[in-house]
Copies of this chain bind each other. A is one copy, B any other.
C-alpha cells in the first residue's frame, strides 16, 4: 500500500507500551507516523475536553523509533487529536489510529472510553479512524494487535471507508497463533454490580472508589444485524471483534410512537 500519513493517539499516555508498539509497527511498514497523546494515563475520560486550563505539548520523539514525530500533551485524548489536527500537524493525516489500549473497549463501555473518543475526533473531522484495544488489562504482547489494526485499516481504506464511521477493534489476549477469526460485531450491553467501595480515610472521613464487577448482559437487545455476534461474545471466544460506531447519539427508536408535544 502507498505510504499513509497516520496520526496515532491513545488514552494510556505516552509511556504506555501499547502506543509505542502501534506507532513503531506503522512506521516499520513505511507509513509516516505522528504521535500526539496524553502525557499521563487518561483512561475513562470519555469525550472530555479541557476548557478551564491551557494545554501544553512537549516533544517526545525519543520514546519512539526513528522517523516518528511525537508530542506528549497535558490534555485529554480528545484534546490531543484536536490539537494535532488544528495546531501541530503540517498536513491533514490520511488515518487516525488510537491505542493500543491496555484493556477492552467493548459494548456500551465505549461511551466512557478515551481510546474510542480520540479516534472519534478523527471521525468528526471527516477522517478514517480506528480504535484498537487489547482485551485484557494484564496482557502485554501488543505486536499481534498492532499488525491486525494496521491490516484492517489498510484493507478498509482500499475498499473505501464509509463516511462518518469509526472502527472499534478488540483483540483477544492470546499469542498470535491462537487468535481466532476477525468478524464484524455488534455492541453488547455491559452492566456493573457493586459499583463503589465505601471506605474511611486515616482521618475518619468517608470516601468512595469506583469499582464494580462487569456483568455481560448477553440477552439484552442490541443494535446491529442479528446475524452478527456481539463484540463481547466474539472476543470471549478468542476472536477479533470489529465494531462500526458513529459520532451520533440520536435515538434509533420509532419516532412515530412519540407523543405530540404541547
Please give the residue numbers on chain A whose beta carbons come within 8 Å of chain B beta carbons, in ascending order.
41, 43-52, 54-57, 75-76, 78-79, 82-83, 86-87, 108, 110-112, 116-117, 120, 124, 152, 155-156, 159, 162, 164-166, 181-184, 186-187, 194-196, 198-199, 205-210, 222-225, 228, 242-253, 255, 257-259, 261-262
A82 cross-chain contacts in B, Cβ below 8 A: 195-196, 210
The 7 A-B pairs of least Cβ separation, nearest first, read A46-B47, A46-B46, A244-B251, A223-B250, A54-B207, A159-B259, A44-B49
Contact across chains for A250 and B224 when beta carbons are under 8 A apart: yes
CA distance A112 to B19 in the complex (A): 24
A164 cross-chain contacts in B, Cβ below 8 A: 253
CA distance A247 to B222 in the complex (A): 11
Contact across chains for B255 and A246 when beta carbons are under 8 A apart: no
Contact across chains for B46 and A248 when beta carbons are under 8 A apart: no
Contact across chains for A83 and B246 when beta carbons are under 8 A apart: no
User: Which one of B48, B182, B209, B262 contacts A55 once the chains associate, using CB atoms below 8 Å?
Assistant: B209
Contact across chains for A156 and B259 when beta carbons are under 8 A apart: yes
Contact across chains for B111 and A249 when beta carbons are under 8 A apart: yes
CB distance from A196 to the nearest CB of B (A): 5
Contact across chains for A253 and B195 when beta carbons are under 8 A apart: no
A87 cross-chain contacts in B, Cβ below 8 A: 195-196, 198, 208
CA distance A210 to B187 in the complex (A): 32
A159 cross-chain contacts in B, Cβ below 8 A: 259
CB distance from A149 to the nearest CB of B (A): 13
CA distance A5 to B75 in the complex (A): 38
Known interface pairs A43-B51, A249-B249; 20 further A-B residue pairs with C-beta atoms within 8 A, sorted by A's residue number: A44-B49, A46-B47, A46-B117, A54-B199, A56-B206, A56-B208, A57-B208, A87-B195, A87-B198, A110-B249, A162-B251, A162-B257, A182-B262, A184-B255, A187-B248, A223-B250, A224-B255, A242-B261, A244-B251, A244-B255
Contact across chains for A165 and B253 when beta carbons are under 8 A apart: yes
Contact across chains for A181 and B262 when beta carbons are under 8 A apart: yes
Given A111-B249, A261-B183, also A48-B54 (CB < 8 A): no
